[in-house]
Structure 1
């Protein structure tokens, strides 16, 4: 990037700032740029969007307000249109659509959305909605009752942290996204488990650094070999069962242990949006061909790993704003 004042060099800065949103004050890692020649500070549309996303994340976390992906998934799991969901909740006709697109709900509306997330709460809302036709009510109640029986046992088993917070990058965990990340990264690349774990860590954390949210919602743990997804073995096994990739167990000559080689299965990566695919492409192009030892060395320079390695703790995504790895 060139300075808009002189056309010369600029420095990207990250510093703690107090910002206000709806009467609440939050300390967030605020990003801007400084012109080397004039020392004037400035922002771009991209970093303004990032700073606002981090502020909104903090507000949502404090007040337990669902994130856009959650708001979308709540509606999708019942098979309800955006307009019908607004009707059920008593919102304006376009309100639910706006929330899915990123608008932050007012607290009263957020409580109704959170109530709808629970199948029994959704049924209560349906019972109280006088404007909805009985045929729609019966259809949606039947679906909600089915979901109540299924529960969320699998997601709870796979992921340590369920609700969006700084430990999962303010993203509801998704085995579909995680599996598609593995498949995308291993497509046309010879990846083994240790390197893949580092690429996943950098993919989620670089995306958080640029957009204020992770891709997969996975939590990462600091172990001796560097950051790894928590329960990565279980996650990999389940992703293979979903048919997103293949794990080949290879016995190395002169070694007692075996390696796990990942190969992508023909996949459309439909769970990933364009920005997420751009991040994964960047990681794949700039880091996937590095030697595994070099990736381990780079990950050992990251503050999030240094702060948590001794206790093998979970790595807060807020460390991502100061990642040491350099990407173009």
Structure 2
């Protein structure tokens, strides 16, 4: 028998011994074969000490349904599909009923109900669910496409809920989408991106982390510090931190899409006037930024860069970078390959 754990004792009528007494509710890890795949999941059951050893366990109907759902979710996880809880969360994030979400996607009315409780979705349906999961704009497109499935008032109600979700975090999504679009040609690891894939969560965390420790952090200085951070990570680990691609510009390395980068909603960027009335972008730390995306090793690299350049003015760090081999051996407008950056000046 598999090892099991006591959850609690329940006073109930036991169907095995036909007496009312305390039975033990237990749980264990067990396996089952679903669609030809063996999956492991947590199973709950009741144990009766009075029954025969060969038949001393039973499940209620609701317990059996929960166990089957756990098994199906284990299969989903193994196959990279959304779990039933994740499907519920998608629907709840839009404030939609099961029927409303099914109609929105052009499916039968009972489809979402089945996916949340019984059936396992195939990859095509899973892809459609993922399309709306974090993309309210896609949800609006589905609403336009399937508008005839709703009454006028219901369509307006659902549109209002989608727009509300779009307003709540849509600006960040749209600015991320714009920034990601700049990297459409750099989706594979290469010498151009330091053999790393674009990671916007990490970029936002890095910028806020630097801003916490560097006063008067403005865009030009930040861009150079990001390049040096990526280069140090490439030298130490064989891959950059951010996945950004840098070009040779008159003021040194600048990442592709730097204008879009500075518009990310999770960054705390303020426009300020300089002494000669030029507009400058002042970067401040972001309150409640999640730094868990940065490893201890990555924070150590950032600390090296911060220690080196925290007291540099923008002109100082630009001049310092102009002396780098990576800058000298590339022409204006060219991408700076990370292989050229292996030989940087001492830190």
Structure 2 length as normaliser, TM-score? 0.51
Counterpart of 1:248 (choices 258, 270, 280) is: 270
Distance 1:156-1:188 versus aligned 2 partners, 3 A rule: closer
CA contact (8 A) 2:178 2:260 kept: no
1:157 match: 181
Tell which has more relative contact order, 1 or 2 (C-alpha 8 A, sep 6+).
1
Distance 1:136-1:175 versus aligned 2 partners, 3 A rule: farther
Instruction: Quote how far apart the aligned CAs of 1:188 are.
Output: 3.5
1:84 match: 78
2:247 match: 221
**SS of alignment partner, residue 189 of structure 2:** coil
1:27 match: none
Instruction: Quote how far apart the aligned CAs of 1:203 are.
Output: 0.4
1:180 match: 205
**SS of alignment partner, residue 121 of structure 2:** helix
Q: Which one has a bigger Cα radius of gyration?
A: 2
Q: Deviations over 1:119-146 (max 9, x none)?
A: xxxxxxxxxxxxxxx9674176543223
Instruction: Quote how far apart the aligned CAs of 1:270 are.
Output: 2.3
Which runs of structure 2 are paired with 1:1-150 in the superposition (5 Å)?
84-85=78-79, 137-138=120-121, 142-147=125-130
Distance 2:323 2:75 in 1: 47
Provide structure 1 residue ranges, at least 5 long, that are not aligned to the other structure: 1-78, 87-133
1:320 match: 341
Distance 1:81-1:197 versus aligned 2 partners, 3 A rule: farther
Aligned-pair RMSD on alpha carbons? 2.9
Distance 1:208-1:136 versus aligned 2 partners, 3 A rule: farther
Instruction: Quote how far apart the aligned CAs of 1:85 are.
Output: 4.5
Distance 1:80-1:259 versus aligned 2 partners, 3 A rule: farther
CA contact (8 A) 1:176 1:271 kept: yes
Counterpart of 1:283 (choices 278, 301, 305) is: 305
**SS of alignment partner, residue 179 of structure 1:** helix
Structure 1 length as normaliser, TM-score? 0.54
Distance 1:155 1:80 in 2: 35
Distance 1:142-1:305 versus aligned 2 partners, 3 A rule: same
Q: Deviations over 1:69-100 (max 9, x none)?
A: xxxxxxxxxx98998249xxxxxxxxxxxxxx
Counterpart of 1:231 (choices 251, 257, 264) is: 257
Distance 1:291-1:154 versus aligned 2 partners, 3 A rule: closer
Distance 1:237 1:200 in 2: 16
Q: Deviations over 1:269-313 (max 9, x none)?
A: 122222211111111122222232221111101122122233x11
CA contact (8 A) 2:179 2:257 kept: no
Distance 1:205 1:142 in 2: 41
Counterpart of 1:303 (choices 306, 325, 338) is: 325
Distance 2:118 2:124 in 1: 10
Distance 2:209 2:274 in 1: 25
Provide structure 2 residue ranges, at least 5 long, that are not aligned to the other structure: 1-72, 81-116, 139-175
Q: Deviations over 1:133-191 (max 9, x none)?
A: x9674176543223356699556414252211110011111111111111111113220
